[in-house]
Each structure stands twice: as structure tokens, then as C-alpha cells.
Structure 1
Amino acid sequence: QVEDGRIVAVGPAAQLLPPADPAIPQVEYGGATLLPGLIDAHVHLTLRRRLSAPRPPASVTEGHALLYGVQAARNVLASGVTTVRDCAARGQHAQELRDAVEEGTIVGPRILASGPPVTTTAGHIWRMGYEADSVTEMRRAVRRLVKEGVDFIKVCATGGRGTPGSVVGRAQYSTDELRAVAEDAHRLERHVATHALGTEGIRRAVEAGIDTIEHCAWLDRDGKTLAFDEAVAERMAEQGLVASIAAGPPWEVFHQDKELAGNGSPPTTVAWLDTMRQRWQLVHRMRDFGVTVCFGTDSVYGMFGDFHDLSYLAQAFVEYGGFAPLDVIEMVTAVPAHAIGWGDRIGTVEPGKLADLLVIHGNPIEDMRALHDVAAVYQAGRLVVQK
């Protein structure tokens, strides 16, 4: 039962009290499943990729980037994702999209925006980032971003595969530099997400008190082999830090036969599955140590025409990763809500929460592919998508 945009009661219809306003409609979805609206903890709304002839990011104009964001926002909401955390965009694009959604100018999910990431000179995604190379510059970058209206801070603790010349396994910042980001961001009531593929960078981010570790791939300094650190994982659990496994599935995984490996699969599919199997094993190990784990798509949209990237990734976690369906559903609802600091507002279907709701045909506990069969999407109790 929903009133004024919030859930006021949950249970069988016969046990709910009549609404205070008799004009409030009753809606029935026979045989459907009601879920919290999905939360993608790591997206890039204004970026795009294509199966062929990709357009280099440097050639995308400011106007095109914003138009990409408008398109992605609309289609992501239609897929059942009611909240996203945009983890890097040029200029103030992500904040502008967020504000446009909030004022009703465009249709889209709730958006938490980091704006440009903080990175070293020539560091990971430097083309769209704010370059900072000292404790003083780190603090200045945080304050500039807060002045520009960001909801959280994104800092690149290691190199990344998308930036030629950076080394994914090597740390870009010292612990003191990362601590300066965390201290100033927390003082200004912003949480901090850090891009960290290498164990060296993960360790420093944990020591610095960063809130969410994005990717968290546990790679050695050369970025080629795994280097899981049990002591760091234990400390992550003790500090309540969240590992956000940001990695979307390639198109071929769900558009080829299920028998992939060794049966003529495209090389990218086999490589992705090999990489993700290692990543999933690490996720299982982290959870064994008590680390809280959620996941996001890292979506640079365009691979899936229906923009169901998060549902495909959830499907992959179950079908290939060996995760229980209910655990996966929590990883895209309640857990990321906690990770982004909105656990008291969204992420579960319970009284007091915002009525961000997803109605699907079928039962995802029995078949995760049911997430693709969207019947309706509600934001704050308002019907925004009906199929």
C-alpha cells in the first residue's frame, strides 16, 4: 500500500486497511512478482560503445554526450532500474541529468552523480577527470567537485584498462593522498568510491577509509595475476566497506548458444568468462571473510539494445557465477542502497521506504531471466513504465 510516494503497508490485500483517500486506485498484477526498483551501483550514462565502428570518446561532442545520457536514462528506467550511481562523466553532465530527472524535464532513474573523477596527471580516464598530484590538490579537487554539486566523489586509486599508458595493477596514489580525499569528502557529507583493480591500490584505499571499492579485482602489480590479500579483506569487513564489482557482460554471452567455451564462441566471450570466473571466485572468498558485496554494470551503454545490462549481469551471476538468486537480487537492491547511503530510503519493500517498485512477470528465484519481463515500474508510487 502506497501513500504520498511512500510504502505504508505490505501484506496480503485482504489484510491491508483501506486507503485514507478512496480515490486511490487498486492495481492488480496477477501472477507477477513485486521487487524493489533495481539499483545499478556503477554506470556511465553519457558514454557509449558499439558492436562495430565504435566512436572514439574524444570525438563525442558535449551535446552528443548529454543526448546519450537522456536516451540511457529513459531506457534504463524502462528496464526496471530506478536508481543509478554515475561513476564518472565529463564536466557537469551527470549533475545536469540528475537535476533534469528530479524536475521532471526528462524521464529517468534517480541519479547519484560523481562528476569528473579525481585522477593523477595522465592517470586513468584523465581526459574526463580532474588531475591532482598531491594532498593539497586532492583536497582542492574534492572541494571543487562539491561546489559543482556532486553527490559523491570518485577517485582512481589504480590504473585502468581503458586508458593507454596506465598500469592496472599499480597504485596511482599514496595512502595519505587517498586519506585526504576521504577526510574532506566525509567532512562535506559525501561518500567516496574508488576505482581499484590492483591489490596495492585496494590496500591503500582501505587504509585511507574509502567507502566503496569499485571493481576490486585483486590484481598483482603487473596487472596479470590474482593477488588476493586476506588481511585486507578482513579489514574491509571490519570497517564495513563495500566491494562494488563493476563489470558488465559482453553481448555474445546472451546472444549465442549456452554452450560457449570450446564451441566456436567469439574470443571475447571466452576471455570474458575466464576473467569473470576468477572474479566470481574472489567474490565468494570476500563474502566468506564477511565483506559486503554489490555489483554494477560499469555500463558504457550500447551493447544491449534493450538497455537491460543490469538484468543480464544478474543473470550471469546466477547462471555462470554460481550465486543464489536471492543473494543476487539483494546485490542489486538492498546492498547497493546501503552502499550509496540510501538504505533508509530505497532498496527494500517495507513501510517507510520510497515506493520505487518493479513488477515483473515470473519469479526470478526460479529463473533470473524473469527480470527482463518487466510489467511495470513505479517511482515514489508513480507509474512511470507499463508494458
Structure 2
Amino acid sequence: MLITVGALLYGPVGEHTTDAAVLVEDGRIAAAGPREEVLAQTSPSAARRDHPGATLLPGLIDGHVHLSFDAGPEPYRALLESDPPTLLEAMARRAEQLLACGVTTVRDLGDREAAAIRLRAAVTAGRVRGPRILAAGSPLTPPGGHCWFLGGEVADEAALRAMVRRNAEAGADVIKVMASGGHITEGGAAMWESQFSTAQLAAAVDEARRYGLPVAAHAHGARSIASAVAAGVGTVEHCLWLAGPDGVDRRTDVAAAMAHQGIAVCGSLCGHDWRTRLERDGPAATRAFYDRLSWLDGLGVPLLTGTDAGIPQAAFDDYVGMLELYTWLGFPAERVIELATAASARALGLAATTGRIAPGLDADLLVVDGDPRADLSALRAVRLVVARGEPYDVAGPGERA
């Protein structure tokens, strides 16, 4: 399949070509660059999709979703009440919503009874259309702790290690640990309170490494963030630096350690939340809450884009709403595109698989009208999504095949 476009963004800032083409063969990128150069490598019988005036870029990455949650007031309710086939069908619909937004890779950070692993298998087998899925399975939490209802309760280090093994043997791609409390668990620890000691988190990291798996730490509180970093996790989710119900304690030494160790932060944001806060609290308070992302970026901490889709009000069809927060904070649009593609792929250990337009990588591609470098909202004008070489028409056929 040959795709021709007006502009090609390779992923990293500054790397682009006009009047360009990408050749896809056997699910991978075979060639990419100036149109005439790629045409010279293309068989006359290759299917063609011509998008004059459009921009092609790598498929987008959502580093934090919950496909088994429905984004309602009690997002886990349907998960607990649905039988496996009904749940899988609902999750498949949500996966297709993400794909329609141009998201070709997601990391699912918590479900029950390996639901996302089952969905991953269905996508891989071609029974369901959806993005590449990295799945965590049941997140580790103390008895009665945050998201205890997902089946990952662990009372001590032995149970903690056993749960890591259980998830790994079920096929998990990543281990999720609830280092702090959260806001959707009634009666659980507060968001700023730690749920595990540094030693316990280190045990989870050690056990996960035996299986070659990274650890993602849900951590709102400053103490839990510090413990997660000291334990050597791969990513920190949310990273609010809360020091109490009203206080914040941004620890420069901890952030510097994150930068040194390459520990990425996934802000886990959604368009609804930041726009609601902006309308309710005004620009100054909203910027004070979210500019931790700019602060972390300035210190060299890798950033990973994610929406937390599935929790209350975090929809599966508004990925770009999350990215627009970064531009509102002052990130250049081209840098935001890099964060959503090449940088996130690197943070997830997928740099050799996806996130850039380069020969040999999986053909995870997005074609949009206009130039998202000039106006990020162009990412909403999706013309074509290609996931691992399979085309998915969003705006209708309209092109020559």
C-alpha cells in the first residue's frame, strides 16, 4: 500500500518532508520520504491512497487508559456486573473509539481477571479492530486499598511478589502498583497517602524484572512519588506531588533522580478535566495546578502522554483534548506531536517498534487534514488510520484503493 500526502512528519521535532509518500508492506514501513523516491521503490500493482494536502504522522500513543471502565460516575460498576463476553464487547467499542481518534497504541493500566489481556488477544487475532494494547492486569494494592475491587489486593511482600508473578504469567506487559490512594475508591487511602513502603515497591520492581516487565506506579502524593522513584519504577502516573488535602511538595531532588534514571511521568489527563478547571477556577489557578508538567520537562524528566480514559468524564474519543492542555501550557505544537508519538514510544520501551516513520517499524500511521504543527486541532480531522499495516478509514473511503 502506497500513501501519498502533502506533508510527512516523522515524529521527532524538526523532521518532516513535503510532497511525500509512505510505502507499507507486510504490516511494516518499507519506505518513507519524498514522493518520487518512494514511488521508485513501489510496485505498479501496489494499492494507493492519495491524500493531497493532508499530513501523515505516526499513530498516536495513549499511555494510560482503562478499557474496562465506562467513564461514568462509578466507572467500575459495569466491569463488576458484566459477564466476560459483554465486557469484552464494551471494551472493543472503546478500543475502536481510540483507533478512530488516531491512537494506535494504548497502555491499559488496570482491570479485573485479565480483561485487557483477552481484548489484546482478540485484536492480535483480527477478531476486533483496535490499537496495540499493553496490558497490566490487576493492579497491586493493599487490602481495601485503591481499586481493591480489581482483584489485586496484597497484604505483605510475599503476596505482592505472588501477584506480580500471577499477572506476568497471565501475559501482562507491565505491572501496575497503587503507590498512593486515589479518588474513585470509597473508604480507601486519600490521594496523598502512601499505600506501600519503599521496600515493598522495590520488591515489586525486583519481581517484575525477573519477568522482564516494567512497573508503573500510580502516585499522587509526594511521599509515594519519592518511594516509587527510589524503588526504580519505570513510570510514575499522575505525579501530583500532593502533601495533604491542600498542600503540594514538589521535590526537585526526586525529579532530578527521575531525569537521571529515565523514569517517565504520565500526567494522565483528560480534556474535560482541565477545561472544567479552567472555567471554574480561572487561568492562574489552572496553570498552577498543571504547570508541574512544564516544571518536570524543564528538569529533563521524560513525559508520556495519557488520558486516563475510562475514569469519570475521561472519554475515549477526546485524545486531542488532552494534548491541547500542553499547547495551552506553552508547549509548541510540534513538540506535543513528538510527545504523543516518538517520546511516548521511547518511554514505553517501543522505540524499535512504533512512534516514528522509519523503514522497518510497524506501520502505525495517521493521516489528517491540514497541518497540526500550525494548529493542533487538525489532529481531529482524521482521514485515515493505519494500525500495524491495516488501514482504517475514518472519514469514508474517498480515496483510490
| TM-score normalised by the chain length of structure 2 | 0.87
User: Taking structure 1 as reference, are residues 292 and 174 closer, same or farther at Cα in structure 2, changes over 3 Å only?
Assistant: same
- Alpha-carbon offset, residue 58 of structure 1: 6.9
Q: How far, CA to CA, are the matches of 2:56 and 2:25 in structure 1?
A: 17
Letter in 1 for 2:210: R
- Alpha-carbon offset, residue 308 of structure 1: 2.8
Aligned match for 1:278, one of 257, 281, 288: 288
Q: Which residue is equivalent to 2:95?
A: 73
Q: Which residue is equivalent to 2:361?
A: 353
State how 1:183-262 maps to structure 2 within 5 Å: 183-220=206-243, 222-250=244-272, 253=275
Q: Which residue is equivalent to 2:169?
A: 147
Per-residue CA shift, 1:111-161, capped at 9, x if unaligned? 111011000111111111311122211111100111111111000000011
Q: How far, CA to CA, are the matches of 1:150 and 1:218 in structure 2?
A: 28
User: Taking structure 1 as reference, are residues 119 and 240 closer, same or farther at Cα in structure 2, changes over 3 Å only?
Assistant: same
- Alpha-carbon offset, residue 26 of structure 1: 3.0
User: Taking structure 1 as reference, are residues 127 and 267 closer, same or farther at Cα in structure 2, changes over 3 Å only?
Assistant: same
Q: Which residue is equivalent to 1:14?
A: 36
Q: How far, CA to CA, are the matches of 1:309 and 1:324 in structure 2?
A: 20
Q: Does 1:376 align with 2:384?
A: yes
Runs of 4 or more above 6 Å deviation: 52-55, 272-275
Letter in 2 for 1:75: Q
Q: Which residue is equivalent to 1:257?
A: none
Q: How far, CA to CA, are the matches of 1:226 and 1:69 in structure 2?
A: 36
Q: Secondary structure at the match of 1:130?
A: coil
Q: Does 1:366 align with 2:370?
A: no
Aligned match for 2:192, one of 169, 188, 197: 169
Question: Do 2:69 and 2:75's aligned partners in 1 also have CA atoms closer than 8 Å?
Answer: no
| TM-score normalised by the chain length of structure 1 | 0.90
Q: Does 1:4 align with 2:26?
A: yes
- Alpha-carbon offset, residue 22 of structure 1: 3.4
CA RMSD, aligned part only? Answer: 2.3
- Alpha-carbon offset, residue 289 of structure 1: 1.2
User: Taking structure 1 as reference, are residues 267 and 42 closer, same or farther at Cα in structure 2, changes over 3 Å only?
Assistant: closer
User: Taking structure 1 as reference, are residues 184 and 226 closer, same or farther at Cα in structure 2, changes over 3 Å only?
Assistant: same
Question: Do 2:68 and 2:79's aligned partners in 1 also have CA atoms closer than 8 Å?
Answer: no
Gaps of 5+ in 2: 1-22, 396-401
Q: Secondary structure at the match of 1:333?
A: helix
Q: How far, CA to CA, are the matches of 1:60 and 1:383 in structure 2?
A: 34
Per-residue CA shift, 1:29-79, capped at 9, x if unaligned? 1110111000100001111134x8988457632344322201101121111
Aligned match for 1:62, one of 70, 83, 90: 83
- Alpha-carbon offset, residue 299 of structure 1: 0.5
Q: Secondary structure at the match of 2:291?
A: helix
Q: Which residue is equivalent to 1:328?
A: 336
Q: Which residue is equivalent to 1:114?
A: 136
Q: Which residue is equivalent to 2:14?
A: none
Question: Do 1:6 and 1:354's aligned partners in 2 also have CA atoms closer than 8 Å?
Answer: yes
Q: Does 1:95 align with 2:117?
A: yes
Aligned match for 1:342, one of 342, 346, 350: 350
- Alpha-carbon offset, residue 367 of structure 1: 0.8
Deviating more after overlay: 21-30 vs 131-140: 21-30
Q: Which residue is equivalent to 1:290?
A: 300
Deviating more after overlay: 193-202 vs 332-341: 332-341
Letter in 2 for 1:115: G
Share of identical aligned residues, percent? 36
State how 1:298-309 maps to structure 2 within 5 Å: 298-300=308-310, 303=313, 307-309=316-318
Q: How far, CA to CA, are the matches of 2:151 and 2:289 in structure 1?
A: 27
User: Taking structure 1 as reference, are residues 132 and 53 closer, same or farther at Cα in structure 2, changes over 3 Å only?
Assistant: closer
Q: Secondary structure at the match of 1:131?
A: coil
User: Taking structure 1 as reference, are residues 97 and 302 closer, same or farther at Cα in structure 2, changes over 3 Å only?
Assistant: farther
Aligned match for 1:105, one of 121, 127, 131: 127
- Alpha-carbon offset, residue 380 of structure 1: 2.3
Aligned residues: 371
Deviating more after overlay: 13-22 vs 1-10: 13-22
Letter in 2 for 1:206: V
User: Taking structure 1 as reference, are residues 116 and 275 closer, same or farther at Cα in structure 2, changes over 3 Å only?
Assistant: farther
- Alpha-carbon offset, residue 278 of structure 1: 2.9
User: Taking structure 1 as reference, are residues 271 and 123 closer, same or farther at Cα in structure 2, changes over 3 Å only?
Assistant: farther
Q: Which residue is equivalent to 1:36?
A: 58
- Alpha-carbon offset, residue 327 of structure 1: 1.6
Question: Do 2:365 and 2:386's aligned partners in 1 also have CA atoms closer than 8 Å?
Answer: yes
User: Taking structure 1 as reference, are residues 246 and 226 closer, same or farther at Cα in structure 2, changes over 3 Å only?
Assistant: same
Q: How far, CA to CA, are the matches of 1:275 and 1:40 in structure 2?
A: 26
